[in-house]
Amino acid sequence: MKSKLPRLFLIILGIGFLINLLQSYFTPLIFDEAYYWHFAKKMSWGYFDHPPLVALLIKISSFFFDGELGVRFMSCVLSTATLLILWNTIDHPKKNQYVVHYFVLAYSMTLLNAYGFFTLPDTPLLFFTALLLFLYKKFLEKPRLLWGIAMGIAMAGLMYSKYHAALVIIFILLSNLKLVFNKYAWLSVFIALLCYTPHFIWLYENEFVTINYHLFDRPNDPYNFNKYTLGYFVNLLALFGLTFPWVYWALFKTKANDKFTRALLFLVYGVLIFFFISSFNRRIQTQWIIVISIPLVIIVFRFMMENEVAKKWIYRMGLTNIALILYLRVGLVYEPMSPIYYETHGNIALAEDVRAAVGDMPLVFENSYRKAPMFAFYSGNTTYSLNNESYRRNQYSIDDSESKVQHQKVLYLSGRASNADLTFTKSNGSKIYGRYIDNFESFRKLKTLLDGPIDFNLEKEQTFQLYNPYDFEIDLSKLRFNVAYMTDFKIVIDRLPISPKPNDPNITSIGAKDTITYTFKFPEPKKLKDPKYVRIGIMENGMNYGINGKNTKIK
């Protein structure tokens, strides 16, 4: 059913957009946003942690505004467009009578509200999920070339947002397997793959670094019911706040009476079941399941218009949710009103303190891909995150940030007070310590290559290759090596030094783009008697060992 947008709808939508713009302007960045702003400083078809669409949104925003709004403007636009698309997806003869109820439902969903202005990969994920559902509905009404092409572009947009967006596409397909016989559906797949080809190329050129990290290199913990599975169910409640009983009641009462509703139900239940099963393997983050908010807006709003009890209670509890969310949103800006110390608090003042103390000196952070971009944004200093074996690899491991601080006097910032030249205190009382390094030099891109699975024998001589990806040679006397022993869950238990020997004893340096072979013996583990994975790390110039090798499985 086609109808003009009600005037009240446009007024409330416009007010919501304006509030998000104001919130974007006055709220300091959160750490993830600063990290994605770092992505956008050098546009690429991919990044270490995510596909590139979040960086593109920031780049576009920066064309219109400076500061925080230059990071968030496009998120405000997309979140507003998402609500508009969802409204137009809902066919119901009475919907114009319940404009206020629609917005109460949508704005009461906690993360859907937050992503109205924060710039995170979930923001375009929600937009393209709504868009794909709208287009799929049109496709079901009349399959044709236009909708086939449009769905392909929407699917590519989903996959450029987050990798687990594949679940949206898969569950829509599973809801209607006859699509495999539809030529326009195949056209959609072809268009999506064609649009996604540049990212596939980027992954190949970067040794599938993102896939390897998410699937193979991330450490995990042994299963814990409270932390994993119970935590998953807590997240399901947190998504909807006080309205959760009626949201899930609406879901359970909705029947798949048509192909579109069937797709909505498959998407919600599919995501819920997928992450429930995943909760037996890892902790499920709330934002991983936020995509169910999109089909649930449609399902629950349709249910509200037919059920007086649900309409009454979702309206009441939704308004309460909105009041609480607005209070928390004010607390993001005005720290005294916040019930908790949030990550938007104190960073600007801290960055200004550091800037006042050292001027434009480059800043090197120990193990913090969060603080490095935050300080770069607010202080304007060149920054770098030096990641060691106690942390994880990130975008700073693969981009050119390291080269910008090489052989310069830097302030090295960490949480350790030893040898500190300067101490800075945040508004919550936490401290960060800095020491000067006159000639900073790191080689964190050096690679140690172990062929695995490896035979773990303390008496046997092993070999590994050292690869130098830099365009200059490196003096081997500056390097020290160690081996990390890990559990089944890739948790490092032992870190022990080794003294490998080059196969050619006359070699004193490794040339640019060159590889040399070392021989060594595994030292006896002190704590982990039966290691499952090993990794060779490198210390340069007396700094902590880095993450230079892949986690190699032991036979």
Split into its structural domains, the chain has a count of 3
Taking the C-alpha atoms of residue 227 and residue 234, their distance in angstroms, rounded to an integer, is 10
Residue in 246, 353, 356 with CA at minimum distance from that of residue 308: 246
Asked if residue 463 lies in contact with residue 500, where contact means CB atoms within 8 angstroms, the answer is no
Taking the C-alpha atoms of residue 322 and residue 101, their distance in angstroms, rounded to an integer, is 12
Residue in 553, 525, 369 with CA at minimum distance from that of residue 452: 553
Residue in 408, 347, 353 with CA at minimum distance from that of residue 372: 347
Which two tokens mark 161? 């947002």
| Domain encompassing residue 89 | 7-335
Asked if 292 and 405 sit in the same domain, the reply is no
Taking the C-alpha atoms of residue 482 and residue 497, their distance in angstroms, rounded to an integer, is 4
β partners of residue 385: 365
Task: Give CA separation, 527 vs 107, 160, 493, 495, in Å.
Answer: 51, 43, 7, 10
Asked if 483 and 545 sit in the same domain, the reply is yes
Asked if 117 and 204 sit in the same domain, the reply is yes
Asked if 289 and 427 sit in the same domain, the reply is no
Asked if 191 and 100 sit in the same domain, the reply is yes
Asked if 244 and 169 sit in the same domain, the reply is yes
Asked if residue 373 lies in contact with residue 38, where contact means CB atoms within 8 angstroms, the answer is yes
Asked if 379 and 454 sit in the same domain, the reply is no
The domain boundary residue, chosen from 393, 419, 437: 437
Which class for 512: exposed (0-12), middle (13-18), buried (19 or more C-beta within 10 A)? Answer: exposed
Residue in 160, 196, 190, 145 with CA at minimum distance from that of residue 56: 160
User: What was the pLDDT predicted at 113?
Assistant: 87
User: What was the pLDDT predicted at 401?
Assistant: 97
Which two tokens mark 43? 């546009």
Asked if 418 and 453 sit in the same domain, the reply is no
Taking the C-alpha atoms of residue 283 and residue 290, their distance in angstroms, rounded to an integer, is 15
Whichever domain contains 463, its CATH number is 2.60.40
Average pLDDT by consecutive 10-residue portion of the chain (555 residues)?
81 98 97 98 97 98 97 98 98 95 96 91 97 98 96 98 97 97 97 98 96 85 92 96 97 97 98 97 93 98 96 97 95 91 94 97 97 98 96 96 97 93 94 96 97 91 97 97 95 96 95 97 94 96 94 94
In the numeric block, the tokens 């935050």 are attached to 374
Asked if 323 and 388 sit in the same domain, the reply is no
Q: Encode burial over 185-218: b for 16+ CB neighbours within 10 A, e otherwise.
A: bebbbebbeebbeebeebbeebeebbebbeeebe
Structural domain contains residue 343: no
Taking the C-alpha atoms of residue 250 and residue 161, their distance in angstroms, rounded to an integer, is 29
Structural domain contains residue 432: yes
Q: How would you classify the pairing of strands 492-498 and 479-486?
A: antiparallel
Q: How would you classify the pairing of strands 509-510 and 422-425?
A: unpaired
The domain boundary residue, chosen from 384, 403, 437: 437
Structural domain contains residue 86: yes
Asked if residue 407 lies in contact with residue 437, where contact means CB atoms within 8 angstroms, the answer is no
Residue in 303, 311, 290 with CA at minimum distance from that of residue 251: 303
Taking the C-alpha atoms of residue 40 and residue 53, their distance in angstroms, rounded to an integer, is 10
Asked if residue 79 lies in contact with residue 127, where contact means CB atoms within 8 angstroms, the answer is yes
Structural domain contains residue 46: yes
Structural domain contains residue 2: no
Taking the C-alpha atoms of residue 127 and residue 157, their distance in angstroms, rounded to an integer, is 9
Asked if residue 217 lies in contact with residue 550, where contact means CB atoms within 8 angstroms, the answer is yes
Asked if 385 and 523 sit in the same domain, the reply is no
Taking the C-alpha atoms of residue 50 and residue 394, their distance in angstroms, rounded to an integer, is 10
Asked if 284 and 161 sit in the same domain, the reply is yes
Q: How would you classify the pairing of strands 383-386 and 363-366?
A: parallel
Asked if residue 499 lies in contact with residue 520, where contact means CB atoms within 8 angstroms, the answer is yes
Asked if 488 and 396 sit in the same domain, the reply is no
User: What was the pLDDT predicted at 7?
Assistant: 96
